[in-house]
Structures are given as C-alpha cells and as structure tokens.
Structure 1
Amino acid sequence: MGYGFSREDIAYLGSAAGAAALAETDELALTPASLLRDLERSRRAFGDRASALVETVRLRRRADAKLADAGEWLFTDDALQQATPSLVARQRAQRLAGRTVHDVTCSIGAELVELSRVCPAVIGSDLDQVRLDIAAHNLRRAASRNVLLAKADALVPCSTAEVVIADPARRADGRRTHDPAKLQPPLPDLLAAYAGRDLAVKCAPGLDFDRLDWAGEVEVVSLDGAVREACLWSPGLTAPDVTRRATVLSSSGPAWAITDADPDDIPERAPGEWIIDPDGAVVRAGLVRHYAAKHGLWQLDPRIAYLTGDTVPPGTRGFRILHQMPFKEKPLRAELHRRDCGPLEILTRGVDIDPDTLRARLKPKGSQPHTLVITRIGRTPTVFVCATP
C-alpha cells in the first residue's frame, strides 16, 4: 500500500529543509537488502520524517522510467501507479491543444503538466486534499502557471471548460477491475454527469467496452511495445466515421496511428516469408485487418491476429519462417534437434499451450536460437519454426 502521506508531510517535503533532507536520503542505496538499515540511519538523522523521506526517494526512482523531468516531484505509491506516462499524456494533450480543459480526477498533476504546455487554461480537481497539495508542488516544479486547482467531486460538474478529462481509479475492493460500474467514480455515472459535453476518459485497455453504449471513439495506446491505456473520446473530439483507433508511441522513434476508417481489404493467401505479430494496441483496438491492408500483409487465419507477408513493416519485429508443420510434440522435438535448436522463444495465440511447460518438454540443447509461433489455421494447431530476429 505504501506510506500514507499527510498534508504536513507534503509541506515539509516541499520546503527548503525537506529538499535538503531528500538530497541526503538520495545518497542511500535503498535496495531490498539495505532498506531496513537505511531506514534506521534515516531515523537517526531525521526522526519521524524518515519514512516520508525514504518513500519519496524510492518513488522518485521508480518514476524515472515513467515520467519526464519528475526528479523533484512528490508522489504517493497509488498515485504513481495510476499516473499516465508522460509520452502518453503528451500525445493526448496534443489532441486538445488550444482548448480549455478540466481534469476532474487530476491526482498528483501528471496530466496537468502536459496540458498546461499546449492549452490556454487548465483546471485540475480532486477530492483528495493530499494529492491536490502534491499536484500544486509538482506544477510549481514544472513551471506550469496556467493551472487552477480545486477540491471537487468528479461527478458534480463545476466548470465551463471546453473539454473534461477523467481517469477513474481502476481498482475495486483492492483488486484491478474491468467492470465499468466498479471504477471510482463509476464510469456510467461519469458519462451521465457530463452528457452532451466534450469528454475524454482514460480507462484500462482491458475494460469491457461492450458494456457501454459509447457513440464516440475508443483509442488504445501503446508505448514501447506495451499497451498502456484506452481512452474514450466523445464524438466532438474525434474525426467523422472513426470509432476505433490504435496509437503506437515510442520513446525512441516516431508515433503512428491507424483507425477503423482506414481500408481493411486483404487477400486470403498461404503464409508468406514472414510472420508479424502486430502491436498490442492494434490487436486490442480490433484493427488487425486495417494494419495488414496498410502494409500489404494478410492473416494466417481470419480469426487469429498473427499476420504474414513477404516483407516486414519498418520498426516491426518479424519472424522469418523456416518450416511449417502440424503441432505434434514428437515430430517438433525431432525438427528442433535437427536444426541444433538451443535458446527457444515460444509465441502462442489461439491455442491452449503454456510456453514454459512446452519448452521444458521439448528440451532444446543445441546452440542455435529459434522462435516457435504456434497457432490455429482453421481447426488445425500449427507450428511455425522461425529464425529468431
């Protein structure tokens, strides 16, 4: 659960004395092996402040991989877990550039920082006063001067901002939930509260959108190959005829997107030279055929998300097919032995196979790395022996 910060903790941590104490605490290793020893050392130096100092330094170190320029920010454990990665928040802010925006579940302000850079006026509100205090600190550190903070209930509209953003908490009874009605605040209640207004709602990508009568766009976003979130965009914030979008972000390359307004006509052909596993955002958004059409690919099977073709799209990982056979362990083991297979990556889709259990049974002992792609073609479990890229 993490340390429970108080308003007094936040005031101290944001002071000159707190900054100096945090700098000294940051010199500690704070590894699992050293944590108890480091905490005792901190208590001797800072007394009752030690737990808040140690927790803050540990959270800042975790935040480095998620949030840009957040080295002097404050956090709580739960808030950091739910905070939107900076690149994802920046991409959403660009869609809202030039508008006034109200983030009604602003938490510690990660989204507000990005919005403040492209929007003329931003409001952030939350019911948690400690998080509002943290947001005020973080906004000062980010030099965000066009943001107003307020304590308010997300289900009670209190501004006339052009766009409302919300990020309902995705846990219920201590567990992650995919039920829209169990989010906090409940998603149906949130949508009802802002009916008729331009609205963007961040959600977990595994949320069951079929339970919603949503007339706008569902955007699924990935970052560096990992699906991060879905965002519901009301009709006034999306292009005509777009109800699904996959946005693929990279910390080291350009972003790209595909929508259900793009063509999806693809041929039915035998497997090509390569197998391509589309980005998770494309799969979650149901845009596999659209992605295939864009890149001259086709499906191994109409019901399976693996694609195939004679070229690999730029920036995408492809698996060159060496051999195709029905999935049977004994012949497969012989084929891998014949190929001097050693390190073995196993990808599965559409079949009930545990890769780790199968790898142990296949017992590859050679020196050449290979990849197995195991799936269904029609009703036949099929394995493709591939070169590891």
Structure 2
Amino acid sequence: MERTDLEQLMTAEGLRLLDSLPPYTNGSNIVRSVAALRKEGYSAALVGAVMTQARLRAKARSKFGEFAERMLFTESGLEQATRLSVAALHAGRFRSAGVTRVADLGCGIGADALALAALDLSVTAVDRDEVTAAIAAYNLAPFPTADVVHGDALTFDLGSVDALYFDPARRTEGHTNTSRITDPADFSPNLDFVFAAARERPTGVKLGPGLDRELLPADAEAQWISVDGQVVETGLWFGAVARPGIHRAALVLRGTERNEMTAAADSDDVEPGPLGGYLYEPDGSVIRARLIGDLARTLGAHLVSAQIAYVTSDTLVETPFASAFRVREVFAYNVSSLKRELRARRIGSLEIKKRGVDVDPAALRPKLALQGPEKATLFITRSEGKHVAILADRLS
C-alpha cells in the first residue's frame, strides 16, 4: 500500500465503504463488485484501495479471527504479523513479569502491541515506515493505553519504558513484493543493538524459525513455536520475561491445545537402532530446539539413523510433539521397483517425506505413476547405513 492508497482509504467515505462490503470471495464476484462500485460513482483509486483491504481482511482471519474485520493491513505487514494467539502468549510474559510500560520496536501493523494493550499494559508501538505506523495507529485506536510513534528503534528513548519487544525487520522495505533478508547484520535494528538493549531491561525478540543457532545468546531463553504443524517463529527472552533454568523450549499449538517441551540446554541424542513397528516425525519446533533426544526418551524410542530427525520404536505412544506412523513395509530405495510395489498395493494417494537423502519428492511423484484407491505415507531416508523407502500409515 502506498501513501496515496492510504489517504484514499483513511477517510469517512473510504472506511464506510470498506465496512459495507459483503464477505470477500475470489472469482467473478470481484469483477461484479468493482463494476458496481464504479457505477455508483466511486473513484477507481478508492475502489482499488477498499477491495485490497477486503481481500487482506479475508486472508487475515487465519491469524486474527473476527478481529480482522475491523483492522487494516498491508500485504507484507500481514505476512509478517504475529498470530493473535501467539501474540497473547508474548503479552502474558510481560504481564507476569510485572512490567507496566512496554515499547514494541518494529511494531508492523500492531499485532503484538494489540495483545499488550488488551492486557491493559501501556505500550508504545514504533515503526519507521510512515504507512505502516499509520495503519498500526488505526488498529490500536480502541486501546487507550496504546500509543504509536513513527520513528526508528535506534533513536527511541529506551529508558522511557520498563521493557522492550523487538521484531527486527527481516525483509526489504516496501509493502508488497518484499524479499527476505538473510544476513542478520542487515536486520533493522541489527542484532548487536537488540541484544545490547536486551541486557539492560526485560526484553522479548521475535525472529524467524530458521535463525542460525550460532547467534543464540547464552543468557537467553530460546523458544520455537509451531502453529498447526508450521514453525512460525523463534522467540528470545531476556531478564524477567525469561523463565529461570529454561534455555530451550518447543511450544506446539494445535487448535485450542497447547503443549511445551522445555530444557536447560540442547538435549543429548539417543543412539540409532533398527526400524521398529512405529515411526515418529518430531514437530518442527522440537527439531529446531534440538530436543529430539528428550522426546525419544519419553517415547522409549531411538533414532532411525544418526543425525536424522526420525525416531522409531515397537510401541505406539501418543504425543503432541510428533506425528506417528505405523510401518507397513521397508524397501530398498529404487524408483522402478518402488513404482511396481506401490502399484501392486493400489496406492493412488501418497504423502512423500524425506530426510538425509538427495531426493526431490515433487520430481519423484510423477515417476511413480500412482494408481488406485488406497493411500499411504512414504519415507525416503537412511536406516542401518542404507537408503530405504518406508511405507507407512499416518496415525496422527
């Protein structure tokens, strides 16, 4: 969204028009809606702005639920925004720590600031992009304890608050078609600044789930969060918002369920062994937190192969921290023979997973020429020093 689009939208006419639109749907309905609005005399610029917001509100429901219907977004702001369920957990840490004034530095469209303000904490939300700051101000307008500043985290008076929350910019500037920044030195603010500030007062830092573990500060609690099977962030916590004795955590959110594994450090691995009757694929947060060894011990399981994140046992144990599969058969990995075996079993729907082998599942699938009414999961990996194809049934 450019400033001119925002100016079109942030008028009484623009906001009334946006709120009057029917639920957004793709396809020919959009064309008809645009034509009808133009026929009613609305400008092309205003129609474009409100239709974009209607589309983003529909897309935002997965992150914000019903709150999306009264919020404004940019394309990149929505993509990078914290899910409201996760933001609420962030805010809870600050409330539990007893702080009252928090600066949300790099606030984006204001998701984390919204959660903080909802707990009646005083929050100053700061963003250096003018359009994004204006949208955050609109989204936070219902909360009297929230204030938005168009400014830079590097020049913000950190001493004016009790605690800090950083979401460093990890994409190039702009509101659409941005690209990911891979060098942490180019984050805004950069991690040297963030970590130095974090040692002065209670601080939370939101980073991408693929953060280089060499960058993890020894004095921080590092928590990886997955939502419905997708790892969404690495959270680093310092001072009073960190939990004593915890330096590694994997938080798994599925629907309304919340489960967490915690440890003082990376867990020791378990030894590999023969493939058992059940195979477990750890949740991505458990893998990122390097708690696979602890998980395996709770399951009475061992690794399928060294340095590969599959564990196995002859006993089925329910766990929220891994998906479970019943092993059917094991084949040597050979495409021609695998095609023949799958056809003999009439498998037409196949979930393909791989670890520790140079195989592209998307390229492999058409070579298998799947046919039939049956379904299964295929793991291509290493076991006992060999490349194998494990045919299994998903249990969870």
Q: TM-score, normalised by structure 2?
A: 0.87
- SS of residue paired to 2:338: helix
Please list every run of at least 4 consecutive aligned residues from structure 1 whose deviation after the TM superposition is greater than 6 angstroms. none
Cα drift, residue 134 of structure 1 = 2.0
Q: Which residue identity does 1:81 align to in structure 2?
A: E
| Structure 1 Cα separation of the partners of residues 17 and 227 of structure 2 | 34
Counterpart check, 1:43 vs 2:42: no
Cα drift, residue 201 of structure 1 = 1.2
Partner of 1:305: 309
Partner of 1:323: 329
| Structure 2 Cα separation of the partners of residues 75 and 299 of structure 1 | 44
Aligned length: 381
Partner of 1:168: 168
Counterpart check, 1:22 vs 2:26: no
Cα drift, residue 123 of structure 1 = 1.9
CA-based RMSD: 2.6
Tell me, yes or no, if the aligned pair for 2:271 and 2:306 is still in contact at 8 Å.
no
Cα drift, residue 52 of structure 1 = 1.7
- Range with bigger deviation, 221-230 or 281-290: 281-290
Q: Of the candidates 26, 40, 60, which is equivalent to residue 31 of structure 1?
A: 26
Cα drift, residue 322 of structure 1 = 0.9
Deviations 1:303-362 (A, max 9, x none): 110122211424453211011232223333333233232222211011111113222222
Q: Which residue identity does 1:339 align to in structure 2?
A: R
Cα drift, residue 53 of structure 1 = 1.4
Q: Which residue identity does 2:389 align to in structure 1?
A: V
Deviations 1:235-255 (A, max 9, x none): 5432334222111112x2321
- SS of residue paired to 2:219: coil
| Structure 1 Cα separation of the partners of residues 278 and 79 of structure 2 | 37
- SS of residue paired to 2:68: coil
Question: In 2 relative to 1, CA 368–338 (structure 1 residues): closer, same or farther, beyond 3 Å?
Answer: same
| Structure 1 Cα separation of the partners of residues 120 and 358 of structure 2 | 48
Partner of 1:123: 124
Q: Of the candidates 259, 263, 269, which is equivalent to residue 256 of structure 1?
A: 259
- SS of residue paired to 1:177: coil
- Range with bigger deviation, 312-321 or 164-173: 312-321
The equivalences for 1:150-299 within 5 A come to: 150-159=149-158, 160-172=160-172, 174-211=178-215, 213-250=217-254, 252-261=255-264, 266=270, 268-299=272-303
Tell me, yes or no, if the aligned pair for 1:157 and 1:194 is still in contact at 8 Å.
no
Partner of 1:62: 59
| Structure 2 Cα separation of the partners of residues 181 and 299 of structure 1 | 36
Cα drift, residue 145 of structure 1 = 2.3
- Range with bigger deviation, 253-262 or 370-379: 253-262
Question: In 2 relative to 1, CA 265–181 (structure 1 residues): closer, same or farther, beyond 3 Å?
Answer: closer
Tell me, yes or no, if the aligned pair for 1:96 and 1:119 is still in contact at 8 Å.
no
Question: In 2 relative to 1, CA 354–123 (structure 1 residues): closer, same or farther, beyond 3 Å?
Answer: same
Q: Which residue identity does 2:26 align to in structure 1?
A: T
- Range with bigger deviation, 169-178 or 364-373: 169-178
| Structure 2 Cα separation of the partners of residues 119 and 248 of structure 1 | 27
| Structure 2 Cα separation of the partners of residues 295 and 119 of structure 1 | 42
Cα drift, residue 273 of structure 1 = 1.7
Question: In 2 relative to 1, CA 235–289 (structure 1 residues): closer, same or farther, beyond 3 Å?
Answer: farther
Question: In 2 relative to 1, CA 357–49 (structure 1 residues): closer, same or farther, beyond 3 Å?
Answer: closer
Tell me, yes or no, if the aligned pair for 1:4 and 1:76 is still in contact at 8 Å.
no
| Structure 2 Cα separation of the partners of residues 109 and 152 of structure 1 | 14
Q: TM-score, normalised by structure 1?
A: 0.88
Partner of 1:11: 10
| Structure 1 Cα separation of the partners of residues 187 and 38 of structure 2 | 38
Partner of 1:144: 143
- Range with bigger deviation, 50-59 or 172-181: 172-181
Cα drift, residue 110 of structure 1 = 1.2
User: Where do 5+ consecutive residues of structure 1 fail to align?
Assistant: none
| Structure 2 Cα separation of the partners of residues 347 and 105 of structure 1 | 37
Cα drift, residue 8 of structure 1 = 3.0
User: Where do 5+ consecutive residues of structure 2 fail to align?
Assistant: none
Partner of 1:377: 383
Identity across matched positions, percent: 32
Q: Which residue identity does 1:169 align to in structure 2?
A: A
Tell me, yes or no, if the aligned pair for 1:64 and 1:70 is still in contact at 8 Å.
yes
Counterpart check, 1:91 vs 2:89: yes
Q: Of the candidates 348, 366, 370, which is equivalent to residue 372 of structure 2?
A: 366
Q: Which residue identity does 2:333 align to in structure 1?
A: F
- SS of residue paired to 2:149: strand
| Structure 2 Cα separation of the partners of residues 322 and 333 of structure 1 | 16
| Structure 1 Cα separation of the partners of residues 298 and 120 of structure 2 | 33
Question: In 2 relative to 1, CA 364–194 (structure 1 residues): closer, same or farther, beyond 3 Å?
Answer: closer
Counterpart check, 1:134 vs 2:132: no
